[in-house]
Structure 1
């Protein structure tokens, strides 16, 4: 079992480095070692706040003025079977940028990188190696799967699912309850078949309405607008208006 430390105990080992004015609850939990026994230090920047019952894993860097609310997990290693391989529970560098806010219940896996000023809502899950650009807002109860890249100034509304390896350009807007798909074969643990995983792509400035479903491999072009409740089965050209089930182009975006 991985040993738990308080902030004071971890400081005594030399594995916790805190900036001036940082405030860490004595009830926050630190886990410097991963499942392979590798220990990594934790860095907490000037003026950062870590509230009670937050769990911080080794390799985490918490930026200046960042706020980690109660019951947040930062830097959790992947452990067990997922996407065709078994993960051994190895830790990794996890970056929570300056002025980032992680609301209560958020879970941030190892290898995630959050740019300055990102806000992550209550009970949102960010899987391994997700990156989020500065100033983006991720709503509550959102799932962002592995290796997804989210740009700067993006708004992801509550209750959406962003599948692994999705690319979300700068200033994209995703409405509530958007569902993305990357698996064209629905293959699960079949030793004779490799899943065909092709994630969707949202070009800068695209806007996707509430309740849309986006199939694998789809590109929604820059500044395109997709109406609520649409089923997106084909690419949406840049600066067009599309909606329907399936979605069709019905006009052009005008400034």
Structure 2
């Protein structure tokens, strides 16, 4: 289901994926099966989203973001893809950020570019992830630090 009040240009959207109102999905984005993209989200071109991914409201997924299967992205999570952003000055390529299978990212977290969040990892709400997160660990804070491994 693609809500009639969304602008979805992508052709590669899997079966039983829902994209709710006021979303924008650019033409080259790839979204898997059984995903739920909640309202007010933006998904750029060079984005790959796996199967059974939940993206809550208010999330922008920029070029270079790779999200594997069974990931949860909480409301208003902020992804970044450029370590030194400047107006009207773009890098030749954006850094790749990888969210591994089964990871969860809590509401209002910020994910810096080029990091990898490991399989089954948990990022606590409001955390600022500045470096890779180990598989099956829990990180919280600013900067995010491991509290459970």
Which TM-score applies when normalising by structure 1? 0.56
Is the CA contact (8 Å cut-off) linking 1:163 and 1:199 kept in structure 2? no
Deviation, 1:127, is: 1.1
1:230 is matched with 127
Separation in 1 of the partners of 2:93 and 2:3?
35
2:8 is matched with 108
Larger relative contact order (CA 8 Å, sep ≥ 6): 2
Q: What secondary structure, in the 3-state scheme, does the structure 2 residue paired with 1:211 have? A: coil
Within the alignment, does 1:183 sit opposite 2:109 as a pair? no
Within the alignment, does 1:248 sit opposite 2:145 as a pair? yes
Separation in 1 of the partners of 2:82 and 2:54?
24
Distance 1:131 1:194, change over 3 A: closer
Within the alignment, does 1:138 sit opposite 2:138 as a pair? no
Is the CA contact (8 Å cut-off) linking 1:199 and 1:218 kept in structure 2? yes
Deviation, 1:140, is: 0.5
Separation in 2 of the partners of 1:247 and 1:186?
22
Q: What secondary structure, in the 3-state scheme, does the structure 1 residue paired with 2:145 have? A: strand
In the TM superposition, 1:80-99 aligns within 5 A as none
Separation in 1 of the partners of 2:40 and 2:11?
18
Deviation, 1:195, is: 5.1
Structure 2: segments with no counterpart, 5+ residues: none
Within the alignment, does 1:168 sit opposite 2:67 as a pair? yes
Which TM-score applies when normalising by structure 2? 0.94
Q: What secondary structure, in the 3-state scheme, does the structure 1 residue paired with 2:147 have? A: strand
Structure 1: segments with no counterpart, 5+ residues: 1-100
2:96 is matched with 199
- The number of equivalent residue pairs is 149
Separation in 2 of the partners of 1:202 and 1:210?
15
Where does structure 1 differ by over 6 angstroms across 4 or more consecutive aligned residues?
none
Separation in 1 of the partners of 2:91 and 2:130?
23
CA RMSD of aligned residues (A): 1.4
State the structure with more CA Rg: 1
Is the CA contact (8 Å cut-off) linking 1:187 and 1:195 kept in structure 2? no
Q: Deviations over 1:42-70 (max 9, x none)?
A: xxxxxxxxxxxxxxxxxxxxxxxxxxxxx
Q: What secondary structure, in the 3-state scheme, does the structure 2 residue paired with 1:167 have? A: strand
